[in-house]
Every structure is written in structure tokens, then in C-alpha cells.
Structure 1
Amino acid sequence: MASRFTLPPELEREILETAALRYPEMIPPLLRICRRAQIWLEPLLFRVVDLSHEPQLLAAESKDPTFLQHAVRNVHASFENRPDAISRYNKLLWKCPGIINLSVDFNLDDIGAGALREMRLKKLAVTVPSVISTWYLAGCTDPLFQSITHLDLFQGPRKAKSEWRHWRGLARLPALTHLALSPTIAIDILADVVVECPRLTLMVVAMYSWDSLAVKASLTLRATDPRVVLILMASTYPIEWKLGALGGDDFWVRAETFIDRRRAGEIGSTCYLLDENATTQPLRLPINHRRT
């Protein structure tokens, strides 16, 4: 009888992990192949976690802290009007110091600073509160910002003007190369960011088609710096975030591609608005070479 052919465990693991990373939807059935496949692949199932979805939150809460520490790398959390949400998020985030990509749509003050400082965050998306908060007053000088390369700051309809003195710390962040601002923030500080943050390689003003007020507000901006892209996205933020967390071409990547095309002359040099809802060439915005 011919001997049964088996792959070396290292090669078998590499094949399964490659398939799981390329096709995340295949992870659950792959877990059922055998015990060793479950050990190898289950951490990949928790590499990207949206705590706003109760089943994912419950699944993460059921795991051992050691497992979470080595598995969880990307987390999105929204308040969702659940009275116990912040408390549950807090307990879980303490167990996930390996997170490198975090998105929260509530005040960072609601999360224990100690938990955040245990992480080495590379990407952070956060809602700027309508009331003054501790981290906002600190001007991004908190240690938790020191390793961040991509920072996305969102603010809804503003109740008060943003002042550059509160954001001056952006210019001193050693790793920051990519900055995204919602229009309500960009209107107040983009001109200062362009001048004070020479290390930035990309500045995005992110808008969504459903937010007509933001779109109108963006039209008052005068973009002249080649690193700036005003992008009107067709998809929702949760879709954008998950796309990036899974390694896809999210708005950061698409904005960089837009800049490359503009530098190559495929797009007019005075074009700063990438309208992803349009089927024609991106719209041009008025140019003003003076700081406003």
C-alpha cells in the first residue's frame, strides 16, 4: 500500500494562512478542517473586530486575554446608544494591547488612557468631542499619539470653532505622515496644518455624500498644497474602515493614487477634489494662494 502523502507542517500552515488572509470569509469553514488548522487560523478570525456588532463583541469577550493579546490588531467601536457599551469596550481593550489600528466614534476620555498607552497604535480614527476633553486640551501631546502614522479626526456639526493652538501638537508627532480631517475641522485649521506640518505626505478632507452640509463647507476651502486631497466618498465610513483593515484600497490609498495621477499630469494641477460619486473628471475647486 502506498504511503499517505503529507505536507510539512510549516508549508501546510503557510498555505492555510495565505488562503485565510486572502479570503477572510473562508476562515470559519477552514477552522473545521482539523485541530491544528483551528489553532493556526482562529487568531486571524479576530485580527479585525467590529465591537459595534454584538456577535463579534460577545465572541471577543469569550476569549482568553492571552489569545486576544496576540490576535486582535484592528478594532472599530461605536457607541450605538447602548448604556453598557463603553464599560464593555473598556474591559476588552485592556486585554488587547496588540491593537495597531483603532477607530472609535466617542470621546477618548471614555476609554482608560492606560489601555491606549499599552498599544503601539499606527492608525487612529476618533470623533472630536463637542465639549472640551482632556486629550483635546493636551493638543495630541499624549504618549498614545507618538507612534501614530495615520490620524483621522472627525467632527459633526460644530458648536465651536477649532483653534490651531489646540492642535499645534500635530506638528510635533514624530511618526505622523497621513492626516484626515472632516470639513468642520479643516475649515479652521487646514491652512495652519499645511504650513506647520511639513513632514505630512498626505492631507485628506474626508466627506460623505449624505452630509450635504459638509460638502458645502468644503467648497469654502482653498486648496493649494500638492499634498491635499478633498475626497467625496461614495461608501460609508464602516465600509471604508473595514476595507483598510483587511488590506484593501481604502480612502488613504485612493487619495495617494489621486496625488500620483496629478503629479503625472493625468489630472489637472489645480484639481484637488476627488468626487467618487461622479463618472467624469474630478471637479476643480477655486484656488487662492494666500493663507486664510
Structure 2
Amino acid sequence: MSSDPSPILPLELEREIFEEAASHWPETIPSLLLVSHRAYEWIEKIKYRTVTPNGEHSTCSFRALMRAIQSDSKTPSFFRTHIRHLYVPRAFRRNAYVTDEMLEAVLAACAGIQSLSFARGDIPAFILPTLAALRPRRLWMRNDSLVFKTDLSRPMFTFITHVALWLMFEHDIASWLSLLAMFPTLTHMMTIGPQTTFVPHILASSRKLEVLVTWSHNSGKKLDNVDDRYVNITRIRDDVEQWVMGARGGNDFWALAEDFIAKKRCREIQPDWRYWIEDADGI
């Protein structure tokens, strides 16, 4: 056995190894935090990067984030700088541990987030002014949310490029076009639900929209007046996993849709009017 001392890695390389481990295998974060003081400083910043309701697929649970904010152990700038993706629990108003005041405090602390999801949870009116201060690039929420019935949170929509809407009721065409106008920088839109009658109208009204996705089980029928920006996706795994995958820049439904559109434009999709993905497409 060699008596040579163990090799010492440069700090830059050691930090990169720890950060890569925490980013790709978030379940290792609790252990990595205990390795050393310097590892703690590196990893703690990653711990709060992506927040999901129960910590599934992510670096932190919503409850853990609330505890950290309540503890006052960190400055507001810490959360503003390091929280990038926030998924609010669906039934947060029925969760005893999530009070209205705590929800507002969490949103206020997350002023630097890049993606926000309320998914199927309704949005209470009292947090709309807090939402107005946020500038996410990606947003998931219900289409019947109060956000779409008031101007209080309108500034939040300014920089959103990707929006996903749970369809809780059907809009008429005028309402859809009015809703679309609220997102001046929107390039990617997805709706979750069976309604598809609005698709041709949205495509015709917005040339800046690059991708329009419907997530439903409706496919197999030819739609008139739709172009190659439209994709119907049926084989999506759970929404939290998809959201986290997108937050990490992975192969989420947006990436699937973009790949399909690229293949369609290269005439690799047959028949050429098909707008849904099949296994044989290799996507």
C-alpha cells in the first residue's frame, strides 16, 4: 500500500464537484452540507434553488423554505439571489402549515425567481400586489385565476416567455386573445385540458408565438387552419417532474415540442398535417 498522502484537489475543482453532485443528485444535499464548512457555504446556496411542495425532484421542499424564512437566519438578499424556481403547493390554502401570511412572506422573499407555478391552486386576491413585484420568465397557473381579472399583478407578465395554463373553464375566443395580449414577450404557450377550438385563432393572431402546445388526450383528428407551431402532447409524466425538468434546462414538454416542430419543418413528420407526437418520431 502506498504511503503517499491523499491528493489535494484545487478548491475550484473541489467546489465544482460538490456543486455538480448537489445539482444532479439533490437527495445528497443534506449529507453534503455536513462535509465541511466550505462545502456548507457552497451547497447551501444550491439547496434553495428549486422549491417543490414536498421536495420531490428538487433541492428543497416548500415547508423547508418557510422554516428558513421564519428563522430570520439569513438576509433577504440571500433568498432573492438564490431561489430561482418556486412551485407553490396545489392546496396551499388547505394546508395547516401554509398560512396566508406565510405564503405572502415566501413570495416576497422570492423576488429573483425565474419560474413560478401555482399549477391547479387558486390564487387569492390578497397576494396580487406581491406578485406584481416578481419578474419570472416561466409561469404555470389556472386560467380562472384572479390574476387574469385585475391589473394589480399585470407587471409580473412583462418578461414571461413561457406560460402553462390549467383550463378550469372554457374561454371564448375574445377572452383568449385578450389574455394573450397580457404577455408582451410570450413565445411558448401550453394549455392543459381538452379545449382546442381556440388554437387556430391564437396562431393566426400572434406571429411572435413560436410554440403552442395542448396537453390532452385529443389527437388523431385533423384540425383546420393550424400551422407547424402547434403540437399536442399526450405522453407527459407528472407536472411537478416536468416543471423541475424545465427549470434545469432538461428535455421537458417544451423541448419535445420544439424537436417535433423542427422535424416537421424538415418534412420528417408524416402526414405533414399531423400535430401530435408518435413513438416512431424518435422524440
The reply on whether 1:148 has 2:153 as its aligned counterpart is no
Residue 240 of structure 2, aligned match among 225, 238, 246 = 238
Q: Tell me the equivalent position of 2:106.
A: 92
Q: CA deviation at 1:166?
A: 5.3
Q: Which stretch shows the higher mean deviation, 27-36 or 86-95? A: 86-95
Flag structure 2 segments of 5+ consecutive residues without an equivalent. Answer: 69-73
> Is the Cα–Cα contact under 8 Å of residues 50 and 83 in structure 2 kept in the other structure?
yes
Compared CA separation, residues 163 and 85, structure 1 to 2 (3 A): farther
Q: Secondary structure at the match of 2:261?
A: helix
Q: CA deviation at 1:139?
A: 8.5
Deviations 1:98-124 (A, max 9, x none): 111111022334461232222220000
Counterpart residue identity of residue 69, structure 1: R
Q: Tell me the equivalent position of 1:261.
A: 263
Q: Which whole-Å CA distance do the structure 1 matches of 2:225 and 2:214 have between them?
A: 10
> Is the Cα–Cα contact under 8 Å of residues 149 and 176 in structure 1 kept in the other structure?
yes
| Runs of 4+ that moved beyond 6 A | 1-4
Q: Which stretch shows the higher mean deviation, 37-46 or 102-111? A: 102-111
Compared CA separation, residues 140 and 58, structure 1 to 2 (3 A): closer
Q: CA deviation at 1:8?
A: 3.8
Compared CA separation, residues 219 and 230, structure 1 to 2 (3 A): same
Deviations 1:149-178 (A, max 9, x none): 10111113x3x5434245425246332110
Q: Which whole-Å CA distance do the structure 2 matches of 1:219 and 1:109 have between them?
A: 38
Q: Tell me the equivalent position of 2:127.
A: 112
Flag structure 1 segments of 5+ consecutive residues without an equivalent. Answer: 208-214, 283-292
Compared CA separation, residues 222 and 166, structure 1 to 2 (3 A): closer
Residue 64 of structure 2, aligned match among 59, 63, 71 = 59
> Is the Cα–Cα contact under 8 Å of residues 148 and 179 in structure 2 kept in the other structure?
no
Q: Which whole-Å CA distance do the structure 2 matches of 1:274 and 1:118 have between them?
A: 38
The reply on whether 1:82 has 2:87 as its aligned counterpart is no
Q: CA deviation at 1:57?
A: 2.4
Q: CA deviation at 1:204?
A: 0.4
The reply on whether 1:199 has 2:208 as its aligned counterpart is yes
> Is the Cα–Cα contact under 8 Å of residues 46 and 72 in structure 1 kept in the other structure?
yes
Identity of aligned residues (%): 27
Q: Which whole-Å CA distance do the structure 1 matches of 2:255 and 2:151 have between them?
A: 27
Counterpart residue identity of residue 178, structure 2: R
Q: Which whole-Å CA distance do the structure 2 matches of 1:4 and 1:83 have between them?
A: 51
Q: Secondary structure at the match of 2:90?
A: coil
> Is the Cα–Cα contact under 8 Å of residues 141 and 169 in structure 1 kept in the other structure?
no
Q: Which whole-Å CA distance do the structure 2 matches of 1:83 and 1:128 have between them?
A: 26
Cα RMSD for the two superposed structures = 3.1
Q: Which whole-Å CA distance do the structure 2 matches of 1:155 and 1:206 have between them?
A: 10
Compared CA separation, residues 13 and 74, structure 1 to 2 (3 A): same
> Is the Cα–Cα contact under 8 Å of residues 181 and 205 in structure 1 kept in the other structure?
yes
> Is the Cα–Cα contact under 8 Å of residues 132 and 152 in structure 2 kept in the other structure?
no
Q: TM-score, normalised by structure 2?
A: 0.80
Q: Which whole-Å CA distance do the structure 2 matches of 1:219 and 1:180 have between them?
A: 19
